[in-house]
Structure 1
Amino acid sequence: MTLKSLLLVGGALLTGTAASAGGYQVTLAGQKNNGMGGVGVGLSLDQAAMFYNPGALAMVKDRGVQVGVNATLARSAFVAQGGNQQRELRNSVVTPFNLYAGFGPAEGKFRAGIAVYTPFGSKLQYAEGWEGRTALTDIDLKSIFVQPTVSYAITDQISVGAGLVVLAYGAVNLQRDVPLPDSYGHIELDGKAETKLGFNAGIFFKPSDKVSFGINYRSKIDAQVKDGDVTFTGIPASFATRFEATKFGATLPLIATTSIGVGIMPTDKLTIGIDGNFAQWSKYETLRFDFDKQINGQTFSESKRNYKDALTIRVGGQYKLTDGLTVRAGGAYDETPVRDGYVTPETPDNDRFSGTIGASYSFGKFGVDLSAQYVSIQKRTETQQQLVNNGTTDRIAGTYKTNIVIPGIGLNYAF
């Protein structure tokens, strides 16, 4: 066993099959937005503006409470270089959720609220005995973010807002097999992230009833695990002295993102949104692990990531068919931050295309929001020569392919 192989598992603290963004971002923060390709920076649709652009919250007409949940149903497969057997991941379902509550005077310029959402979360379970079993077998990642938010309309056309982003809860469980001379053992890493703080701020400008603009910035947060548990099983007594570590620590970046958005309202019934998101992935250069005791004679190691900054383009719209029924559709292109030769089993990422549909039905102060997405992560082949050239032979050569279906439902109440 090498420490570099162990690092591949640790990378999953922030990675996995993300639902709708490159790398390990997940942007399923609002059910209406989900049905419109994920747009929202240049719009003031509802309380989910706290996530997409806090500056737009003051322009949301209704105060209200809303809750939503999604189910990410991923189908992933891997074929090793030189092989012909397709390894499919075991079926798993992840359920990111969101909760928003917005308050303020009915005719006032001030709005405040609280947002709870899950921007990082995944579960991957590779096939039993797959070729990369010594790099990764299982990931289970959970996180909950809380964001108290304030927003103020400076004029009838311009509003600003900001939120304190709190990584309130994070937990990760990572597993892989350990190669031994005539068998395999198993290692499990289990840890919880410390509470960390960041911010989310935005400006919203609506010069007329026909057009609106927004800009949003989400700061970087360093997620840190200290005193995570390291557990070995299936290790013969004769090898026990080589696997003494019981605790681990790691720090990884939740990268900063700058977004701009445009809203176009040709008629009272039609709304169109266009967003561009720039993610500063280049901050993620290496992954370092520290252990309390030695593993094969070492107490720390580093593994190359060398991510690149990436751009996402989103387009979507909604049309109000009746007083109660609104329908939506959209799509997005997400550029992967993972360079050739740096693909890892916990992030089998590539450029991805997604299509979305959605609908809402309101009756009085209550409403129901439905959304559905299809995400196609393009086939990604990594060769052994690429790994050798980059010095990343701690991972496995082969071809990955993933498709994801994401249904979602939300309930809202306006007051």
Structure 2
Amino acid sequence: MSRYLPITIASLSTLLIASDALAGAFAVREQSAWFQGLSFAGNATVSKSLSSMYWNPATMTGHDGIQVETSQTVVFPRATIDLDTATIDAVPTPVTGVPYSSGDIGVDAWVPAGYGTWKVDERLTLGVSSNAPYGFETKPQIEWAGQVYARSSRVLSVNITPMAAYELTEKFSVGVGWQLQYLQVRLKSATGVPPIAANSPTAELRGEDYNLGFGATVGALFKPWEGTQLGIGYRSPIEHNLKGRLVVGGNAPTPIRANIIMPETVTVSFQQELNERWRGMGTFEWTHWSRFGTFPVFNLQDQVVSELPFQYNDGYFISLGTEYDFTENFTGRFGLAYEWSPIDEANRTPRLPDANRFWISAGLSYFYEDWLEVDIGYSHLFPESESININPDHPFYEGITIQGPVNDTNVDIVSLGARLKF
């Protein structure tokens, strides 16, 4: 069996890219069927799953031989924006002739991830992962009172990360990796303020980073005594030089460019064996979304032709979970989490009406002999009730004040994973 097989399988597993955001703003946390069932508690410590290497590359030292893993997740989001008011401020007059409801803006998404590790010797382990760390897609109905703020939105990403981990002592391991990331952005909205009406032309901004963005990931794993693990991982910021075009109505496309920086993330986890069958774990995560401000969009003459406003806050996530080995072949797990979104009423838009949310998760693993393991995980997310309130003080303001609640919001996530050992 070729030692390059893990790299090949892990790279090919990300053929489609995540299209909905489930980790605050448009980060995607759904990188593991195993940890999905734990609400991602303990995800920076060693388990039988390879996927912890995404958050902490040092955990690769806990896996022997050659192993590959794939995780395939399907996300079912739902949300409707029901505006109470929509006013054209230049006139001023209420918006008429179009619905005040967005309809369901959620778009079902498939999130693939792949991992491979090779234990070179007793201390050194090499590996590679392929993931979609950022992504979202929302689609209100084409004609609605908030159409100047969103007709459709899509962000796609692919991240390939070769890694190495080294066991310095029996109690302490370190790991490092090099991220190569592709990013694509597609944003559509209606033009014309005032007036707003059915059949308004569409403005579309497209951009992607053909040259890839580069970053690092580092981590450490500490086992102070038998049965206890402490892990910390860091994924660095990544700058993207987007190039594309801006098309307004039937006009000729305008070539554009924009530089944006994706945020860094720090993940801290613990895992504690309670007895031979029962384990407890937890995770705290911080994402530096506050670096995500307003990014100017330039034409080829270096003139600002548009802006990408965000003005996010930092994001935080905390989770607790437990695992229990029912038999040698079956392990069950359960997790709870709470997430503080970087989006609040001061920066919330119809493109991504994110909010703080509770998580509840459960999962099961089946171990078939020594060479095949299968995981399934499920989560239900309960977003808190929030509203859209875009007015002249809002960073996304485009001449129309809109106000109203985001209703019927909930998310179901189903994840299936498998590992092969050679």
TM-score bucket of the superposed structures, by smaller chain: 0.7 to 0.9
Question: Deviation at 1:191?
Answer: 2.8
8 A contact 2:160–2:179 mirrored in 1: yes
Match of residue 6 from structure 1: none
1:258 aligns with 2:258: no
Q: Tell me the secondary structure at the aligned position of residue 385 of structure 2.
A: strand
Q: Tell me the secondary structure at the aligned position of residue 50 of structure 1.
A: helix
Aligned equivalent of 2:116, options 101, 110, 118: 101
Question: Deviation at 1:293?
Answer: 7.7
Q: 1:58 to 1:357 in 2, by over 3 A?
A: same
Alignment TM-score, normalising by the size of structure 1? 0.86
Q: Deviations over 1:292-316 (max 9, x none)?
A: 489xxx7434454332222210112
Question: Deviation at 1:211?
Answer: 1.2
1:347 aligns with 2:361: no
Return the alpha-carbon distance in structure 1 between the equivalents of residues 206 and 234 of structure 2.
Answer: 32
Match of residue 148 from structure 1: 162
Question: Deviation at 1:16?
Answer: 7.6
Q: 1:39 to 1:326 in 2, by over 3 A?
A: same
Alignment TM-score, normalising by the size of structure 2? 0.84
Aligned equivalent of 1:326, options 294, 306, 331: 331
Counterpart amino acid of 1:44? V
Larger deviation, residues 147-156 vs 216-225: 216-225
Counting aligned pairs with the same residue, the percent is 22
Return the alpha-carbon distance in structure 1 between the equivalents of residues 161 and 28 of structure 2.
Answer: 16
Larger deviation, residues 397-406 vs 209-218: 397-406
8 A contact 1:50–1:163 mirrored in 2: no
Aligned equivalent of 1:388, options 382, 386, 392: 392
1:18 aligns with 2:21: yes
8 A contact 2:79–2:106 mirrored in 1: no
5 Å-filtered alignment, 1:302-321, equals 302=307, 304-321=309-326
Question: Deviation at 1:91?
Answer: 5.5
Q: Tell me the secondary structure at the aligned position of residue 260 of structure 2.
A: strand
Q: 1:42 to 1:266 in 2, by over 3 A?
A: farther
Q: Deviations over 1:66-99 (max 9, x none)?
A: 1111111111110113389543225622111111
Question: Deviation at 1:367?
Answer: 1.5
Aligned equivalent of 2:50, options 35, 47, 50: 47
Q: Please, which runs of 5 or more residues in structure 1 have no aligned partner?
A: 1-14, 236-242
Return the alpha-carbon distance in structure 1 between the equivalents of residues 19 and 109 of structure 2.
Answer: 11
Counterpart amino acid of 1:208? W
Q: Tell me the secondary structure at the aligned position of residue 71 of structure 1.
A: strand
Match of residue 82 from structure 1: 85
Return the alpha-carbon distance in structure 2 between the equivalents of residues 17 and 67 of structure 1.
Answer: 19
Counterpart amino acid of 1:32? W
Q: Tell me the secondary structure at the aligned position of residue 58 of structure 1.
A: helix
Match of residue 158 from structure 1: 172
Q: 1:306 to 1:172 in 2, by over 3 A?
A: closer
Larger deviation, residues 186-195 vs 275-284: 186-195
Match of residue 37 from structure 1: 39
8 A contact 2:44–2:53 mirrored in 1: no
Question: Deviation at 1:351?
Answer: 0.7
Q: 1:200 to 1:321 in 2, by over 3 A?
A: same
Q: 1:323 to 1:95 in 2, by over 3 A?
A: same
Return the alpha-carbon distance in structure 1 between the equivalents of residues 46 and 335 of structure 2.
Answer: 17
Q: 1:47 to 1:344 in 2, by over 3 A?
A: same
Q: Deviations over 1:288-342 (max 9, x none)?
A: 2123489xxx743445433222221011221111111111111211111124321
Q: Please, which runs of 5 or more residues in structure 2 have no aligned partner?
A: 1-17, 87-98
Return the alpha-carbon distance in structure 1 between the equivalents of residues 153 and 176 of structure 2.
Answer: 33
